[in-house]
Amino acid sequence: MVMQSGGGAEYDGNLLSGPLADVFAVEVTTAVARCGGCGLSSVVAELAVYGPDPGLVARCPGCADVLLRLVRTPDSVWLDLSGTSTLRVPIPESERPDLAQT
C-alpha cells in the first residue's frame, strides 16, 4: 500500500515482507553485526552473550556495548537491535541471482 505524505510517497510495512524474510529465514549466527558504539564488525556467533533470564543480551567483543537483546514471552519474541548500526546477512550461494545471465 502506498501512503502519501507531503511531497513524497511512503509504503507501509508490507513492502518489507520479502526482504525481511531473507534476513530472518537464514542462519542468523553467520550474520555480521556492526557495533553502533565502536564500529567493530563481528560475526553474531562470536558475540559475548549473557542470559537466558530475563532475556538474552549480546555485547560487542570490542567495547562491551549491548548490540542486541532478545526476550521471549509466551506469545511473542522481542528483538532490540538498537545497539547495532548494521546487520549484514549473507545470502546462501544457492539463492543468489545468476549474474552471468544478463
37 binds Zn ion (CB under 5 A): yes
- How many positions of this chain bind Zn ion (CB under 5 A)? 8
Q: Which stretch binds Zn ion (CB under 5 A): 19-27, 58-66, 80-88, 94-102?
A: 58-66
**Vertex 83: Cα angle to 62 and 70 (nearest 5):** 105
Residues 6+ away with beta carbon under 8 Å from 46: 61
Cis preceding-peptide flag for 61 (omega within 30 of 0):
no
Q: Which stretch binds Zn ion (CB under 5 A): 39-47, 50-58, 80-88, 93-101?
A: 39-47
Report strand pairing: 8-11 vs 32-35. unpaired
63 binds Zn ion (CB under 5 A): yes
Among 33, 35, 44, 47, binds Zn ion (CB under 5 A): 35
C-beta of 62 vs 90, nearer to Zn ion: 62
C-beta of 26 vs 34, nearer to Zn ion: 34
Centre a 10 Å sphere on the Cβ of residue 64 and count the other Cβ atoms it contains.
12
- Grid coordinates representing 83 are 545497539
Q: Contact residues for Zn ion (CB under 5 A)?
A: 35, 37-38, 40, 60, 62-63, 65
